[in-house]
Structure 1
């Protein structure tokens, strides 16, 4: 039996455990926080549906946003649960969100009883780590215009959710830059005919041309 199969079994077990358990269902609204950066974790949250944004604020006031995520059966607080350290990011609801509140002690008991759940959690964290490191490495190694173009192409191809922030400063936060720098990079892509703007939303204008541009930047 492969790790993937064991992890899938663990995911089924934890999903069934939460579904059948006496866990409080909490309805949250846009602007509510599941977790705040720096707080001590008291509960974990199992998101059943909705949208959340994940962001980090540095001591100098600069913010970096991991973006907005459409969530279904997603666990939050798992890293702090395992490390015992304060919460690393702000997790903010971006619309109505339904969550189950999971006490830490209950999850500890489940992990002791169901080893497959531990395998699922390990694989889940590994997938998250690789995804975050992929994005961070790309942001460091390539120009901002490349990163914006790559992000748009991935959404066009369906490899990322088709979600963008309508406010420019929030899109800029996703790329760890100021609004002014973000606008300048977008202008470069517009001038080259690689992207187009409909209202406040950016879209791929010419997929083949955009792919050639990305390939040239990668050489």
Structure 2
């Protein structure tokens, strides 16, 4: 979730009026600041979470590894005052995803006990967390559901079209095998699906980039499913 005024949802007006208090409360719970290197895991799948992490800027990736070794990458995120570990803070569950720094970034470590005490003093701020978590949850479930219910080629086309519209909650990767993992498949199947879209005249592939060749046809392909 972002430590910023939420621009959508039922209680939007509250965040605009109370954002300075929200920010003040979170910042008061910071117990350490440090710079971590590229590849550092802020949160580790399956591990207990005792602290939350605030990343003011920098890019991270989010992914899940199953016991059979298969990997699903949710995508990458360009952080803007992004808070990680908030769901585990409320549930007490172990971490569901690896959150990995894709570059050297500065992180602020937020003490879970201090945050709990702060929310007890300002219980209405829990409404901010509830709203932000609900929005992130629905965005994530939408991604997972679409990946499960639609063919790989459709999911790639959908992603390309909405990346063009710049309205997706997460971004992709520059490497093929990571893009394949983002669509829950192998590199070979991913390449075949991209080729299918090329043969339809919707896109063209140029080295490590994909270019839209027919935006109207791509839009029609995505919206007719």
What's the TM-score once normalised by structure 2's chain length?
0.89
| 1:136 corresponding residue in structure 2 | 144
Q: Which residues of structure 2 form unaligned runs of 5+?
A: 1-9
Tell me how far apart the structure 2 counterparts of residues 41 and 141 of structure 1 sit (CA, whole Å).
Answer: 32
Deviation at 1:97, TM superposition (A): 1.6
Aligned residue for 1:15?
23
For residues 190 and 162 of structure 1, the distance between their equivalents in structure 2, rounded to whole angstroms, comes to 24
SS of residue matched to 2:31 = coil
Match of 1:44 in 2: 52
Per the alignment, residue 122 of structure 1 pairs with 130
1:74 matched to 2:104: no
1:127-156 Cα deviation digits (max 9, x unpaired): 011101111221222211111011011111
Cα distance in 2 for residues equivalent to 1:26 and 1:117: 26
Contact 1:55 1:89 in 2 (8 A): yes
- 2:157 alignment partner, SS class: helix
Cα distance in 1, alignment partners of residues 29 and 98 from structure 2: 27
Residue aligning to 1:177: 185
Partner residue of 1:150? 158
Cα separation, 2, equivalents of 1:65 and 1:17: 32
Q: CA deviation at 1:198?
A: 2.6
Is the CA contact 2:77–2:170 (under 8 Å) kept in the aligned structure 1?
A: no
CA shift, 1:22, in A, is 5.3
| Alpha carbons of structure 1 residues 161 and 82: separation in structure 2 relative to 1, 3 Å | closer
Change (3 A) 1:178 1:9: farther
Shift of 1:206: 1.4
Residues 57-108 of structure 1, C-alpha deviation per residue, up to 9 Å, x if partnerless? 0010000010010001111111111111111110000112221100111110
Of 76, 82, 93, the match for 1:85: 93
2:73 aligned with 1:65 = yes
> Would the aligned equivalents of 2:43 and 2:95 in 1 still touch at CA under 8 Å?
yes
Aligned: 1:29 with 2:42: no
2:26–2:115 CA contact under 8 A, matched in 1: no
Q: Is the 8 A contact 2:62 2:98 kept in 1?
A: yes
CA-atom RMSD in angstroms: 1.8
Unaligned runs of 5+ in 1: none
TM-score normalised by structure 1 residue count: 0.91
- Number of residue equivalences: 216
